[in-house]
């Protein structure tokens, strides 16, 4: 086996293994790399995904996440525009004419009302199959109950019919006997 030796770093050596007499500094190199990477990230534009709450109708949220504001237009005085409070930061923000947004909303509401009207028409024209089945079952049960009640009445008359006839005959015999 070989002989190994270990020596403590001297005061003249840097903590990261950099010597004062060399022009190379690992720490400075890492700082330069980080700064170059950050400058590249700043140059790349931020890509915001399309957001339906911004793209259609009255915007509810800006691309940056803040609430849109309704302001007078600088280019067309008297016309209102949806914009963002952060519009001056150079990022992508909402900008939409108010009247166009309202028209989109109204067209969507009209389509929705027409769809609902069609559904209501379909409900009134085509009866529900389950409802028809339940109604026919209920009618059948009611008919069965009525038939059972009428049969009970007839059977009670049949049961007591002979007794009623005998009583009536006895009354006739008693009345005839009193008259004679």
pTM of the model: 0.41
**Within a domain: residue 99?**
yes
Sheet holding 69-72, edge to edge: 69-72, 80-83, 96-97
**Within a domain: residue 88?**
yes
Beta bridge partners of 81: 71, 97
> By C-alpha distance, which of 170, 51, 29, 76 is closest to 178?
170
**Within a domain: residue 149?**
yes
Q: Are residues 119 and 139 in the same domain?
A: no
Q: Are residues 117 and 133 in the same domain?
A: no
Q: Are residues 76 and 95 in the same domain?
A: yes
**Within a domain: residue 17?**
no
Burial tier of 104 (Cβ tally within 10 Å: 0-12, 13-18, 19+): middle
Domain stops at, among 104, 125, 146: 125
**Within a domain: residue 120?**
yes
Range of the domain at 141: 128-180
Beta bridge partners of 69: 83
* pLDDT for position 80: 92
Q: Are residues 150 and 175 in the same domain?
A: yes
Q: Are residues 76 and 133 in the same domain?
A: no
pLDDT, tens digit (0-9, with 9 covering 90-100), for 108-124 = 889 999 998 888 877 76
Q: Are residues 139 and 119 in the same domain?
A: no
Nearest-angstrom CA–CA distance, 99 and 46: 29
Q: Are residues 109 and 84 in the same domain?
A: yes
Q: Are residues 106 and 143 in the same domain?
A: no
**Within a domain: residue 118?**
yes
Q: Are residues 133 and 121 in the same domain?
A: no
Q: Are residues 132 and 166 in the same domain?
A: yes
Structural domain total, the chain = 2
Q: Are residues 56 and 98 in the same domain?
A: yes
Q: In sequence order, what are the residues at sequence separation of 6 or more whose Cβ sits closer than 8 angstroms to the Cβ of residue 12? A: 19, 20
pLDDT, tens digit (0-9, with 9 covering 90-100), for 48-96 = 566 656 677 888 888 888 888 999 988 888 899 999 888 888 788 888 8
Q: Does residue 128 or residue 1 have the better pLDDT?
A: 128
* pLDDT for position 42: 64
Low-confidence winner among 86-100, 104-118, 152-166 (lowest mean pLDDT): 152-166
Q: Are residues 59 and 106 in the same domain?
A: yes
User: Please, where are the H alpha helices in the chain?
Assistant: 26-43, 52-55, 98-125, 129-179
Nearest-angstrom CA–CA distance, 59 and 95: 9
Q: What is the mean pLDDT of residues 130-154?
A: 78
């Amino acid at each position: 086996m070989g002989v190994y030796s270990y020596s403590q770093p001297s005061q003249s050596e840097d903590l990261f293994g950099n010597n004062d007499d060399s022009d190379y500094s690992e720490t400075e190199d890492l700082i330069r790399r980080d700064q170059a990477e950050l400058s590249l990230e700043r140059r790349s534009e931020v890509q915001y995904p399309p957001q339906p709450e911004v793209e259609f109708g009255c915007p509810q949220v800006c691309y940056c996440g803040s609430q849109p504001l309704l302001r007078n237009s600088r280019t067309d005085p008297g016309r209102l525009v949806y914009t963002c409070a952060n519009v001056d930061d150079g990022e992508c923000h909402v900008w939409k004419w108010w009247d166009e947004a309202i028209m989109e909303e109204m067209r969507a509401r009209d389509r929705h009302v027409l769809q609902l009207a069609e559904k209501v028409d379909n409900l009134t024209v085509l009866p529900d199959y389950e409802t028809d089945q339940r109604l026919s079952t209920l009618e059948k049960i009611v008919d069965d109950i009525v038939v059972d009640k009428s049969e009970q009445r007839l059977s009670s008359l049949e049961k007591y019919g002979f007794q009623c006839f005998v009583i009536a005959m006895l009354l006739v015999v008693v009345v005839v006997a009193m008259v004679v």
